[in-house]
Amino acid sequence: MTLDATVIVIGSGPAGVSAAWPLVEAGIEVLMVDASNGVMPAPPAHEDLAAWRADPARWRAELGGTGPLAEAGLSPKFATPRARATLTGFAQASGLQADGFHAVGSLAAGGLSQIWGALAPHYSPDDLAAFPDPAVMAASCDRVAERIGVNPSAILTPAAARVAARHRETRDDPGFRLGPAPNAVLAASRRERGGCTACGLCLHGCARGSIYQAAAELPALSRHSNFRYRPGVRVERLGGAAGAHLVEARAGTEQVSLRAGAVVLAAGTLATTGLALRRLGLVGRRVRLESNPVGGMAFLIPGLVGQALPARSFGLGQLFYTIDVEPGVESAGVVYGADTLPLGPIADRLPLTRAAALRTARALAPALLLATQYLPGRFSDNRLWLEGDGSLRVEGHQTAQAQQLLDRGFATLAGRMRRRGAWALPGSRQVLTPGADAHPAGTLPLRGTGPAATTATGELAGVAGVFVADGAALPLLSARHPTLTIMAQADGVGRTLARRLATPAMAQVG
């Protein structure tokens, strides 16, 4: 039987790319497919924020050309043309209906990394203890961090810099840790990616490639003759046929069927789970879906009110903190500056007449810090299941405990920030819909005991030769942003599979 590839990797996001690298480097024939079918809007080519703000076409980019004005909604990063192109079509393509849950996924090349905040903290040793082999995971984390270029945020806006400076002078606050955000952003140029020039347009996509995004690794992978990439292939189901795995997909209007010795699922948690449940024939079985309960609040540094907005800045996370909310419960969050954001969402919250609200928001923006706070996934309460008609359903609930812990965390954060010169803005605290974190995970946990789970090596329990490389297989969703850990786990899956395929006796997998 002829195979289309030894291994088919489904998805070109951070997980797919991370799983592909070890396989490709081991000389194994890899075919990567994703459902992308269009080009992403080019990132703005403006020199800096000042040039962007002066561009007469800016309103079209920020608010869209037709229909209701694009709403920032849950996060300003969801309101850009880039975000619209990244998120569009996903729910429809995957037949997804969500209730009480903000379901995100992407068909784009590079997946959600097209619009991620690039925050890539390491899981704590306690977190890693939940993984089958913590030492191997730690090594994978380091390897991935090196590959994607994780650096403590080098460029701080004046507001964040003040807090950081006061933090250095402050005696230790037990249970509160604060530092520059560990971002996958290059400070200096490396190969194809340019170093960050603090143009401040991060939200709209980085024209220099300083911010890591997975699709940018595709050219490097493609330089290997044993790697092929095929976009526009939306996988609908997996099957098995005589010693080979069958990947049934739709390419445009055409039905395609691909064969491989092994399949790596990296389509993003929601899409991957749909494919896995369909493969397992688990219709109607409710599977636990973890997400990080998340909220946000705003702080003001009075000494900076009224300053002019900077011409250059950095639009991603400035500071990263963790709080011991209660013994054994760590929350984590990021502090952003407001000087790179559109003022609309800030002005919207002021009960003033609009012109005054805009002026006020403008005067406050340089002095504002916006903090998010995430709780570990175990405090989420969401279910995902496959309907008989093949559609995917998600139901989310915010638990009272999550609400309580977030409140407590925000109270602690307010106190700690106050000692560092930042005043919490009354009324700015808000808790977001489950799923708004965009960290859905843990539906097919490693060594899980439910009907849908993966083995210690990431192989789908009951279906040898199908591996889960994305967030779906996380055995634990920490409060810390999970991307780096997901990539490390995918790296581990790639390595395991490469080892197996390298042993001739084992070449026949699945």
Partner 1 sequence: MARHLIITGGTGYLGTALVACALEQGRAVTLLGRRAGPLGTQHRRWMLGEPLPAEIDTQDAALVHLAHDWRAGDYANVAGTALLFASAEAAGVASRVFVSSQSARNDALNRYGRMKWAAEQRIAGATSLRVGLIYGGPRVAMYGLLCRLASLPVLPMIEPARAVQPIHLGEVVAGMLAAVDGRGTGRVLALAGPDPVQFGDVLRLFARVLWAKRLPIVPIPLRFALWACELSARLPLVPTIDRERVLGLAGTEPIDSAVDLARLGIAVRPIAKRLAAEPACRRALLVEARALLRRAGTVPTSALMRRYARAFPDGAMVRSRLEPIDGPVAARMRAAARLAEASVAGEARLARGSRVGRLARLAVDSMAETLMLPVRIVVTRR
Task: Kindly tell me which of 67 and 388 has the beta carbon lying closer to partner 1.
Answer: 67
Instruction: Compute the residue count for the chain.
Output: 510
Given a contact cutoff of 8 angstroms between Cβ atoms, the answer to whether 234 and 258 are in contact is: no
| H helix or E strand, kind and range, residue 300 | strand 294-300
In a 3-state reduction of DSSP, which class is residue 294? strand
Task: Kindly tell me which of 69 and 165 has the beta carbon lying closer to partner 1.
Answer: 69
Task: Kindly tell me which of 151 and 307 has the beta carbon lying closer to partner 1.
Answer: 307
**331: amino acid identity, one letter:** S
Give least dist CB 79 to partner 1, A: 10
According to DSSP, the β-strands at 294-300 and 287-289 are: unpaired
Q: Return all residues near 242 (Cβ < 8 A) that are at least 6 apart.
A: 1
For the chain, give the longest Cα–Cα distance. 74
Tokens of 189: 């140029």
| H helix or E strand, kind and range, residue 87 | helix 81-87
Task: Kindly tell me which of 352 and 502 has the beta carbon lying closer to partner 1.
Answer: 352
Give least dist CB 354 to partner 1, A: 4
CA distance 85 to 495: 32
CA 353 to chain centre: 37
Tokens of 150: 């994780």
CA distance 249 to 236: 5
Given a contact cutoff of 8 angstroms between Cβ atoms, the answer to whether 296 and 443 are in contact is: no
Give least dist CB 134 to partner 1, A: 48
Task: Kindly tell me which of 177 and 359 has the beta carbon lying closer to partner 1.
Answer: 359
Give least dist CB 202 to partner 1, A: 18
Give least dist CB 361 to partner 1, A: 8
Give least dist CB 54 to partner 1, A: 7
Task: Kindly tell me which of 194 and 345 has the beta carbon lying closer to partner 1.
Answer: 345
Give least dist CB 342 to partner 1, A: 7
Q: Which residue has the tokens 């230790």?
A: 172
Q: Return all residues near 497 (Cβ < 8 A) that are at least 6 apart.
A: 7, 19, 22, 23, 28, 262, 264, 467, 509
Task: Kindly tell me which of 306 and 390 has the beta carbon lying closer to partner 1.
Answer: 306
Q: Return all residues near 199 (Cβ < 8 A) that are at least 6 apart.
A: 46, 47, 48, 49, 207, 208, 312
**31: amino acid identity, one letter:** L
Give least dist CB 508 to partner 1, A: 59
Task: Kindly tell me which of 65 and 281 has the beta carbon lying closer to partner 1.
Answer: 65
In a 3-state reduction of DSSP, which class is residue 331? strand
Give least dist CB 348 to partner 1, A: 5
Task: Kindly tell me which of 355 and 505 has the beta carbon lying closer to partner 1.
Answer: 355
Count Cα atoms within 13 angstroms, Cβ side, for 342: 21
Give least dist CB 166 to partner 1, A: 22
Tokens of 282: 């688990």
Task: Kindly tell me which of 60 and 190 has the beta carbon lying closer to partner 1.
Answer: 60
Residue numbers at the binding site for partner 1 (CB under 8 A) = 53-54, 56, 58-60, 62-63, 65-69, 305-309, 342-344, 347-348, 351-360, 362-363
**207: amino acid identity, one letter:** A
Task: Kindly tell me which of 152 and 302 has the beta carbon lying closer to partner 1.
Answer: 302
Give least dist CB 307 to partner 1, A: 6
CA 504 to chain centre: 37
Task: Kindly tell me which of 50 and 130 has the beta carbon lying closer to partner 1.
Answer: 50
CA distance 276 to 376: 24
Give least dist CB 68 to partner 1, A: 5
CA distance 371 to 189: 29
Given a contact cutoff of 8 angstroms between Cβ atoms, the answer to whether 24 and 280 are in contact is: no
Backbone angles phi, psi at 199, to 5 degrees: -70, -25
